[in-house]
Structure 1
Amino acid sequence: MNTNADLSLCRSAAVLVVDDESGMRSFLQKALEKHFGLVEVASSIERAEEIRRRCHFDLLIVDVKLPGRSGIEWHEALQDPNRHSDVIFMTAYAELDTAIQALRAGAADFILKPFRLEQMMNAVLRVLKRRQLARENFLLRREVTRYLDADTPMLGDSSVIQRLEAVITRVAPTPSAVLIEGESGTGKELVARALHQQSGREGPYVPVNCGAISPELLEAELFGHTKGAFTGADRARDGLFTYASGGTLFLDEIGELPLAMQAKLLRALEQKKIRPVGSEREIPTDVRILAATNRKLSDEVKQHNFREDLFFRLNVLTLTLPPLRERAEDIPQLAHYFSRKLSSDLGLPAVPFSHEDLRAMQSHSWPGNIRELKNFIERCILLGHLPLDELRTPELGAQAHAAYPSCWPLEEVEKRHILRVLEVCEGNKSAAARQLGIARKTLDRKLAGWQESAETSELDKSLDHDELERLA
């Protein structure tokens, strides 16, 4: 084995050797058992088929010349669409016709006897890497059908984000499980992706939303199933644990797992083996587990909604993501990022943000967190302006709605706008003057003039006179 990735790839694979020479079987079994999770041997096609009926193998190493049927005639294995195994043929006869027949039969590789162990191991690794690439292509196609912010980086200069990034850098290279807690929309999957990307693991990142899969199908989705294991299982299928081999499996919304499934997941994590639905054998796995939830799992344990032993197994390290309202200083950076990205994606011009706009965003509670902010920016780009009334409390929203009747003259609109800017700037007249683009003296003069005329102005009856007096 050349690298840790090669070792990981082999540990999760099952191999069946078929050769009528006992010396060759013994030699390959001893050599392969050092690296592979499961190695079985057989002396004939008939015996190999018996073994294959109870076990699924990733790789078959088969001698071409066998008693009874030859390896090339093993149609059950070579043409089985439900339990596909890659095949390496061995032969002591260097005949071109034999090699052509083997390749036409579906061989992944062909090796001549006698061979050195290094030759065989190189052939095995080539085949397994091609198999892994096929799995990754499957996952890529699967992810294209999902809406994921895979390219959204973790943004923010707040102290909480800086600490979070430091922890990610420290724990990412370890194989330890990580539990990610936080409200919906806080970026839990971004953290999971960052942990995988910095882990150095060669296998794929496989996300699965536990709450989006029906409880009846969840076990088959995670562990795979055999043909006929349940109604509709017209062919065998690998599970997401298998596809994530050598990589990371991200279990999103793990708090939604039914208790029965929690027990099966716990066993898989402790034994590092999975049992496909309908199968009698267990398959070794090499997967790093990350889990996320918008619930407080410790509370779920107290309420007997989540198994305590599974919680302890997942809770090696817990990362708690803060809601956006607790890191408001990061909102301008996030808003500008989403504006650039979404305007490019939508083919529409970005909407510029004024200081007032950003302050309004920072004062909003954002119950939907980063996801809500992103959707708001997208709506701004589609509308061509900022619907700031959406960001106000119900009281402020009602005032803002009543603040601009169509019958008002321009000077009254100016007055209400200036008062709104002062409100956003929390009464700081210097900051309000900068935002408005006027001199501080001009602002003072306008406020003083409005205070003097407030008692006689019919439209000013709706204004807060005490506030005007304080601002002046």
Structure 2
Amino acid sequence: MSSPDSLASNPDWHDYAVLVVDDEAGMRSFLQRALANRGCTVHVAESAEAGARALAGDHVDAIVLDIALPGKAGIEWLKELRESGFSGDVILITAFADMETAIDALRAGASDFILKPFRVDQIVNSLQRCFERARLTRENYILRREVAGLSGEVEGMIGSSPAILQICALIKRVAPTPSTVLILGESGVGKEVAARALHQMSTRADRPFVPVNCAAISAELIESELFGHTRGAFTGASESRNGLFYYANGGTLFLDEIGELPLALQTKLLRVLEERRIRPIGSAKELPVDVRVIAATNRDVRAEVARGGFREDLFYRLEVLMLEIPPLRERIEDIAVLAAHFNRQLAARLGLPPLAITPEVAARLAAYAWPGNVRELRNLVERSLILGAFPASGEAPAGGEPLPLSLAEVEKRHMLAVLAQCNDNKTQAAQLLGVSRKTLERKCAEWEQ
């Protein structure tokens, strides 16, 4: 266990809030000063009834609760809290206790039991354990969302095309800044991959990355999902709930398909981006948040602004830093590189031998339009591994219609795919293609003009 002095400077405390409930003004003031000096937010109340009102308006991670209170006793209120669904830690304190009282407290759901008079480090160490549990709860919540399919598998920015190399360079430059980023591109191009790369290369890399697909949540629920709500805020709100901004505090919130947000919620999001504060539904108070927002959409945002489907002020707030990922059909050089990457990765995961990506297979992959972009290519490789072969000649690679191409374009795509497979080694590529290196160099020079 860390010493009290080291806990006093623990930056993690800035992410948490405590409610102190005690009828003695001196004790409330003492605990408020001692805990606030360590960085956490502290709310105080003189009774269980006042504590309930405080909980209705503010989120807290832990409660320091006196047993002997005027009106409703501390253990009685603790039982009601647990029955109502409050899951935060509760530390009971008292000057009058026996073994029976301690057992009742633990049965009621107390996290700890501390006798008065106590030393500050006793409360500090107990709260440190509470905050550690709260941190793990946040992280487990995020992991459950990922397992449920709300975020895709993490892949690196794979490719050798000038477009991808330029995007990688921009990510390296943008990642360390705190600025909001807007990522544009068709479905399946890798917008979440870019968002994760921005997070991993930022100063927030050790904090949560929370992805949410705005298109997958109904308009009625999205505000509660993002900002949280208090108990009774609306029909069915039987208990208070934290939103995704809370779980992303200190880290990054990735708003995928932000173009699907209702206009009214776009207004509230703009206020959050400008003021760095959120207001849960039903709460009269705003809560400070430290969250970097990365947004993405497959829509033409400028066209949406022009027709009134997206707020102009929010667009300008988001477009300070903008990444645009081109579709796969516009970066042919990346197709063979991505196919080889997925071939190795998925074969290892599936426990199958990798497939041979021959020049003929590479040419067929390069000649396809890939309307589903990188996601579609990955699915094709996985399906081919399971079936034991890539689609035969004459078949559309992913079950759709291949892009009509001229013979010259097929030749160009085939040669570029083989070059990419050979890591731009022209001698090796020429041997595989059955042409001279001079012929290959001449072709490349023609395509660059």
- TM class by shorter chain equals 0.7 to 0.9
CA deviation digits over 1:98-121, x for unaligned, max 9? Answer: 544433322223444444545433
Q: Which residue pairs with 2:105 in the alignment? A: 102
Residues 151 and 212 of structure 2 are in contact (CA less than 8 Å); yes or no, is this contact kept in structure 1?
no
**Cα separation, 2, equivalents of 1:55 and 1:360:** 59
Residue type of the partner of 1:169? K
Which residue of the other structure, out of 173, 185, 195, is the alignment partner of 1:170?
173
**Cα separation, 1, equivalents of 2:412 and 2:319:** 47
Which residue of the other structure, out of 142, 150, 162, is the alignment partner of 1:139?
142
Query: 3-state DSSP class of the match of 1:17?
Result: strand
Which residue of the other structure, out of 23, 29, 34, is the alignment partner of 2:32?
29
**Cα separation, 2, equivalents of 1:65 and 1:324:** 67
Residues 394, 329 of structure 1: CA spacing in aligned structure 2 closer, same or farther, 3 A cutoff? closer
Residues 395, 24 of structure 1: CA spacing in aligned structure 2 closer, same or farther, 3 A cutoff? closer
User: Which runs of 5 or more residues in structure 1 are unaligned?
Assistant: 400-419, 441-472
Identical aligned pairs, as a percentage? 52
Residue type of the partner of 2:250? G
Query: 3-state DSSP class of the match of 2:224?
Result: helix
Residues 78, 432 of structure 1: CA spacing in aligned structure 2 closer, same or farther, 3 A cutoff? closer
Query: 3-state DSSP class of the match of 1:74?
Result: helix
User: How big is the shift at 1:343?
Assistant: 3.0
CA deviation digits over 1:430-453, x for unaligned, max 9? Answer: 99994477x99xxxxxxxxxxxxx
Where in structure 2 are the equivalents of 1:300-315 lying within 5 Å? 300-315=304-319
Residues 172, 422 of structure 1: CA spacing in aligned structure 2 closer, same or farther, 3 A cutoff? closer
Q: Which residue pairs with 2:88 in the alignment? A: 85
Residues 177 and 317 of structure 1 are in contact (CA less than 8 Å); yes or no, is this contact kept in structure 2?
yes
Residues 423, 138 of structure 1: CA spacing in aligned structure 2 closer, same or farther, 3 A cutoff? closer
Of 357-366 and 258-267, deviating more is 357-366
CA deviation digits over 1:403-454, x for unaligned, max 9? Answer: xxxxxxxxxxxxxxxxx9899559x9x99994477x99xxxxxxxxxxxxxx
Q: Which residue pairs with 1:272 in the alignment? A: 276
Q: Is 1:376 aligned with 2:403?
A: no
Residue type of the partner of 1:357? V
User: Which runs of 5 or more residues in structure 2 are unaligned?
Assistant: 419-426, 437-449
Residues 367, 117 of structure 1: CA spacing in aligned structure 2 closer, same or farther, 3 A cutoff? same
Query: 3-state DSSP class of the match of 1:145?
Result: helix
Which residue of the other structure, out of 253, 257, 260, is the alignment partner of 2:261?
257
Residue type of the partner of 1:376? L
**Cα separation, 2, equivalents of 1:22 and 1:115:** 16
Where in structure 2 are the equivalents of 1:315-330 lying within 5 Å? 315-330=319-334
Query: 3-state DSSP class of the match of 2:331?
Result: helix
**Cα separation, 2, equivalents of 1:209 and 1:84:** 27
Of 187-196 and 308-317, deviating more is 308-317
Residues 150, 6 of structure 1: CA spacing in aligned structure 2 closer, same or farther, 3 A cutoff? farther
- CA RMSD of the aligned region, Å? 3.5
Residues 90 and 113 of structure 1 are in contact (CA less than 8 Å); yes or no, is this contact kept in structure 2?
yes
Residue type of the partner of 2:272? A
Q: Which residue pairs with 1:244 in the alignment? A: 248
Q: Which residue pairs with 2:303 in the alignment? A: 299
Residues 178 and 291 of structure 1 are in contact (CA less than 8 Å); yes or no, is this contact kept in structure 2?
yes
Where in structure 2 are the equivalents of 1:156-167 lying within 5 Å? 156-167=159-170
Q: Which residue pairs with 1:128 in the alignment? A: 131
CA deviation digits over 1:276-298, x for unaligned, max 9? Answer: 22333333322221111112323
Number of equivalent positions: 415
User: How big is the shift at 1:271?
Assistant: 2.8
Query: 3-state DSSP class of the match of 1:238?
Result: coil
Of 41-50 and 69-78, deviating more is 69-78
Where in structure 2 are the equivalents of 1:316-465 lying within 5 Å? 316-387=320-391, 388-389=393-394, 390=396, 393=402, 424=414, 434-435=431-432
Which residue of the other structure, out of 203, 209, 212, is the alignment partner of 2:207?
203
Residues 4, 154 of structure 1: CA spacing in aligned structure 2 closer, same or farther, 3 A cutoff? farther
Q: Which residue pairs with 1:415 in the alignment? A: none
Query: 3-state DSSP class of the match of 1:151?
Result: coil
Residue type of the partner of 1:271? E
Residues 56 and 231 of structure 2 are in contact (CA less than 8 Å); yes or no, is this contact kept in structure 1?
no
User: How big is the shift at 1:211?
Assistant: 1.1
**Cα separation, 1, equivalents of 2:89 and 2:230:** 18
Residue type of the partner of 2:43? E
Q: Which residue pairs with 1:73 in the alignment? A: 76
Which residue of the other structure, out of 215, 218, 223, is the alignment partner of 1:214?
218
Q: Which residue pairs with 1:16 in the alignment? A: 19
User: How big is the shift at 1:260?
Assistant: 0.8
Residue type of the partner of 2:131? L
Residue type of the partner of 1:215? A
User: How big is the shift at 1:38?
Assistant: 4.5
Rg larger in structure: 1
Residue type of the partner of 1:88? I
**Cα separation, 1, equivalents of 2:55 and 2:303:** 46
Residues 79 and 109 of structure 2 are in contact (CA less than 8 Å); yes or no, is this contact kept in structure 1?
no
**Cα separation, 1, equivalents of 2:49 and 2:267:** 38
